[in-house]
A and B are shown apart, each in its own frame.
Chain A
Amino acid sequence: MKATLRRREVVKALLRERGRLLVVAGLGSTAWDCTAAGDSALTFPMWGAMGTAAMVGLGLALAQPKRRVLVITGDGEMLMGLGSLATVGARRPANLSVVVIDNERYGETGMQETHTSRGVDLAATALACGFREAMGVGAREELAGLRKAIHAGRGPLFAQVKVSAEKLAPVLPPREGSVLKARFRRALLGPKSDLD
């Protein structure tokens, strides 16, 4: 079945009225998608460290148990850190969601096919790893429910959202890592975070 959802629209819908939500964006297209939906100090867009986005989300979720944490990443990035699904599943933080925007391609390197194009089911993997809920999403009508679960459901939640393989112009967040870190901490913890 051909995917019809468009990635920028999906991410925009999930980040609508995000409130106190903390976001980790995996490297490449999902970081650009999050920036296109509106750059925010409370989004940590990754420009490298491929395969660790879900783990950054886990560390953040455990440090901030009263806040909701959403990791938005790509299928290639998730595949590189597949073991982190097991690590999240073993710890089961109730405030963490991982959403994979799955175009079945490595978007930054020439749109080569990933394992998900050959049937690897990330949602089933997450469920087998112990996520409380894991869903495959392919229709626009499902996005509102997913957004609600991210904000109010009991996690860890996983969603694999099938999107069409389109090459879009990047919308870039700031590049410098120390700036991205400092602005996130100031927005979350206040100016005193500079003194920690």
Chain B
Amino acid sequence: MIDWPLEVYRTLKKAQVRQVGYVPDAGHKRLIELCLADRALEAVVLSTEEEGIGLAAGAWLGGARSALLMQSSGVGNCINVLGMVRECRFPLLMLVTMRGEHGEFNPWQVPMGQATPAVLTAMDVAVHVARTPEEVTPMVDAAARLAFGSYQAAAVLISQRVIGIKSFQEQSAR
């Protein structure tokens, strides 16, 4: 199986991303570890996802590209502040690991997971969906080009099929 977190990390580096805001998530665990180990990257742990929208805006004002890592439940926390991204035309690259989508075991995750693409679309964020490990890196590359080349908000939704969490026991064992 391909090491998509490593490939995504390399794609972010190639896109000259210098700041990575994140809220910890099991699906992003390895990518976060790779970012934390890179002293040339500012990896900033957030207490809630909307902080990351502010962080990305400030980074761009200061001339730095950034990426924002979160789980789909965090997308809902970003809705209002995504208005700033659209109004100011800040580039924004969001990598979202999905829950409540493909074989979810926790019913409380389902409403936000199912609504995630619609919520992002409603706030003018271009949605890319990666359904297989092979699709993740090309989609992150395309989303980064869209964000920084065309000053857009772009999200890559990484399907639960890719992450492969099937039960609570499996999740906590990671």
Q: Evaluate contact between A48 and B83: CB separation under 8 angstroms.
A: yes
A115 at the binding interface (Cβ < 8 Å): no
A interface, over-half SS? helix
- Among B57, B61, B88, chain A packs the most CB atoms within 10 A around the CB of B61
B residues adjacent to A (C-beta < 8 A): 18-19, 42, 44-48, 50-64, 66, 80-81, 83-84, 87-90, 148
A residues adjacent to B (C-beta < 8 A): 22, 24, 44, 46-64, 81, 83-84, 86-87, 90-91, 176-178, 180-181, 184-185, 188-189, 193, 196
8 contacts between A and B (CB under 8 A): A48-B84, A49-B83, A58-B44, A63-B61, A181-B60, A181-B88, A181-B90, A188-B62
Q: Evaluate contact between B53 and A52: CB separation under 8 angstroms.
A: yes
Q: Evaluate contact between B54 and A52: CB separation under 8 angstroms.
A: yes
Q: Evaluate contact between B44 and A181: CB separation under 8 angstroms.
A: no
List the B residue with the shortest CB-CB distance to A83: B47
From the candidates B61, B81, B84, B88, name the one contacting A59 in the complex (CB within 8 A).
Answer: B61
Q: Evaluate contact between B44 and A178: CB separation under 8 angstroms.
A: no
- Among B42, B52, B54, chain A packs the most CB atoms within 10 A around the CB of B54
List the B residue with the shortest CB-CB distance to A71: B58
Q: Please provide the 3 A-B residue pairs with the shortest distance between their CB atoms, ordered closest to farther.
A: A59-B58, A63-B62, A55-B54
**Bound CA span A160–B44, Å:** 25
From the candidates A22, A48, A60, A87, name the one contacting B46 in the complex (CB within 8 A).
Answer: A87
Give chain B residues whose Cβ lies under 8 Å from the Cβ of A181: 60-61, 88-90
Q: Evaluate contact between A56 and B50: CB separation under 8 angstroms.
A: no
**Bound CA span A180–B57, Å:** 12
Give chain B residues whose Cβ lies under 8 Å from the Cβ of A24: 58
Give chain A residues whose Cβ lies under 8 Å from the Cβ of B18: 63
